Amino acid sequence: MTVNADRSGSALGRGLASLIPQRHTNPAAVVEVALARVTPNPYQPRRHMDDDGLQELAASIREHGVLQPVLVTETLQGYQLVAGERRVRAARLAGLERIPALVRQLADRDQLEVALVENVQRADLDPIDEATAYRQLIDEFGLTQEGVAGRVGKSRASVANTLRLLDLHADVQAAIADGRLTEGHGRALGGLPVDGQAHVLPTVLGQGLSVRQTEELVRRLREPRAAREAPQAAAPRLDPDLERVEEDLRQRLGTKVSLSRSRKGGKIVIEYYSDEELGRLYERLIGGTA
């Protein structure tokens, strides 16, 4: 007698998967995961987090719970966070042991992209963090500026302008990151050499200059050098040492300074353009208020 075995219903012939219980998860389903098993995202683009804001979020979580699930990817040790670092930190501060999460399997680049896009959409990144994440996508994962722009929903020009912030002096970057300066201020200061940016920064911050005023200040500081280098300039050039002193004074005082020599010495001309600027110069030169 011949027996026709039904291979489709046999464990044999269906491979190892038929012998091992398989967990089928709905990718849209929210599960509760233990916070102790959640590790940080190594590609988290956000480097700065406001402590007061975290405390406020923790208080809200104590009252209402975590309203939006975090995104994690499963690892052998537990779960690796992809997006939702503020919620995880605040949940721990609130004393929670578990947190709602969406579990997805994502490659390294996808983890950075998802975290970056979420933060950009929620306006949770400062411009320097955003620029650093763009640079990481380009340098580590081979994306072009156009590719980055497509993933975050911005124009290529916007991505390029944000990336230029990374060329600024470290002090200027820090001021943009903590909100003391805007991206517009950064782009204006980018018209100066890196060392010159550091010299002018206290003036911009101390006087609370607008972007337009900062652009004008940078223009004034750049004009004398351009005039000296212009072909039609007929004025006698200072010797290199005096030129260096003149440039240092401009950068230090944040305004136009001219040196000229005479037979018995010379003169220094310091220009100012408002009473407020005169007061600032007086304070800087004398060490007190006028």
Q: Decide if 272 contacts 262 (C-beta within 8 A).
A: no
Q: Per residue of the chain (290 residues), what is the pLDDT tens digit?
A: 444 444 444 443 444 333 333 344 444 578 888 999 888 877 666 666 677 778 888 888 888 888 888 888 888 888 888 878 888 888 998 889 999 988 887 776 676 677 666 666 555 678 888 888 888 878 877 788 888 888 777 888 888 889 999 999 999 999 998 889 999 999 999 989 998 899 899 999 988 888 888 988 888 888 755 454 555 444 455 577 777 788 878 777 777 788 877 777 788 888 876 666 777 777 778 776 65
What per-residue confidence (pLDDT) applies to 258? 81
Which SS3 state, helix, strand or coil, does residue 23 take?
Answer: coil
Using alpha carbons, select from 193, 174, 176 the residue that is nearest to residue 184.
176
What per-residue confidence (pLDDT) applies to 105? 78
Enumerate the domain spans of the chain. Answer: 30-108, 193-290
For the annotated catalytic residues, the residue numbers are 85
Q: What b/e readout covers 271-285, taking b as 16+ CB neighbours within 10 angstroms?
A: eeeeeebeebbeeee
Q: Who's near 4: CB < 8 A, 6+ residues apart? A: none
Q: Decide if 143 contacts 114 (C-beta within 8 A).
A: no
Rg (CA), the chain: 29
What per-residue confidence (pLDDT) applies to 57? 84
Using alpha carbons, select from 277, 222, 285, 282 the residue that is nearest to residue 250.
222
The predicted model scores a pTM of: 0.53
Put residue 273 in one of left, alpha, beta given phi > 0 → left and psi -120 to 50 → alpha: alpha
Distance set, CA 180 to CA 47, 93, 129, 276 (Å)? 17, 28, 15, 20
Measured distance CA(237)–CA(229) in Å, rounded: 10
With respect to CATH, is domain 30-108 assigned 3.40.640.10? no
Q: Decide if 99 contacts 38 (C-beta within 8 A).
A: yes
Using alpha carbons, select from 266, 206, 209, 212 the residue that is nearest to residue 236.
266
